[in-house]
Amino acid sequence: MPVADYATYCRMLANAANNRFAYAAINITSETTANAVLRGFAEKKSDGIIQVSTGGGEFASGLGVKSAAKGAIWLAEYVHRAAAEYPVYVALHTDHCAPKKVAGFLVPLIEETERRRAKGLTNLFNSHMFDGSELPLRENMDASVPLLERCRANEIILEVEAGVVGGEEDGVSHEGAPREKLYTTPEDMLEVYRRLSVVKGARYMFAATFGNVHGVYKPGNVQLRPSILRDGQAALRKEFGEGASFWLVFHGGSGSSPEEIRETLSYGVIKMNVDTDTQYAFTRPIADHMMKNYDGVLKIEGEVGNKKLYDPRSYLKKAEESMTARVMQAVDDLQSAGTTLFRS
């Protein structure tokens, strides 16, 4: 099935919210990692979200180009073709885009979708994330609202964030962030809802922070408080009526316990980013291959090595298999197995 269109993507997210599960949102950097994600979703009969970050896009464009936007476009075009081979829906999303990167990353991608729509083609990306969390909330929303207006005009869903996800991802570090910034307050959530609701007809997702941290840490080092999500949603209903709620996003989910994940689902999380764990799953079998076949992958002491062992396909197939397995685990953790809306 081709990449989901706007109406289907909205149905996907509403289905997750109504049935208390979430979609795994997996970052890709290559055709191989894209294939791993697509197969993982299909094996579990779950729809899902494929993400490209600024760093992932730059990597995909190659060292001779080094363009985050161009690399993201090329990866998205590949996914549009490859996804048609699988009996599930997938949505394409861009991950954290800081304010300083909007002009060079988000804007070119939205422009590419505008060009496609003018030709009667489908959107390139289904959704984008603007991460204005480094800004004071008012400035964050001042930047988010015009982006949301442009996204609405092109049937794109916007994800925004208020508060700071700790740790480091894709070269962006919040290691020294004040502890209070790791927790979004109900007042912040009310203000986000108030500001974004002025864009009538727009759809958006909100990444509220509740102590979540990018990366993997030993048990006990990350203090999650999912009740923040519960309290924020309750504040929305009290202020704006029973129909008010957020489609929430869980960032920094790697290493979280199944119990913590399930609790967030009950409070409205419909998307969880998984990147660190799938990176490790991809790399682990490559390291194993190199260690076990050292004499074969290197031409040492005058020998010629073993072409079958240093052929990149020999270890990248193992990497793809391992990443697929980790995607399938994420689907199970998020309780989305068997929920696909696709009907052949």
Q: Provide the residue ranges of all domains of the chain, joining segments of one domain with +.
A: 6-288+323-333
Catalytic residue check, 95? yes
Distance CA 25, CA 319 (A): 19
Of 12-26, 89-103, 202-216, 286-300, which gets the smallest average pLDDT? Answer: 202-216
Contacts of 33 (CB under 8 A, 6+ apart): 27, 278, 282, 320, 323
Is the pLDDT score of 166 beyond 70?
no
One of 47, 95, 275, 277 is an active-site residue; which one?
A: 95
140: left (phi over 0), alpha (psi -120 to 50) or beta: alpha
SS3 213: strand
Is the pLDDT score of 169 beyond 80?
no
Distance CA 40, CA 285 (A): 17
Q: Which pLDDT score, from 0 to 100, does residue 219 have?
A: 46
What is the tens place of the pLDDT at every residue in 90-146?
999 999 999 999 999 999 999 999 999 999 999 999 999 999 999 999 999 999 999
Query: Each residue of 132-159: b (16+ CB within 10 Å) or e?
Result: bbbbebeebbebbbebbebbbebbbbbb
SS3 237: helix
Q: Where are the beta strands (DSSP E) in 61-181?
A: 90-94, 127-130, 157-162, 168-169, 172-173
Distance CA 271, CA 10 (A): 13
Look up the CATH superfamily of 6-288+323-333: Aldolase class I (3.20.20.70)
The model carries a pTM of 0.93
Query: What tokens does 303 get?
Result: 């020998």
Looking at this protein, which amino acid is placed at residue 192? V
Of 9-13, 31-35, 219-223, which gets the smallest average pLDDT? Answer: 219-223
Is the pLDDT score of 177 beyond 50?
no
% pLDDT > 90, the chain: 83
Residue count of the chain? 344
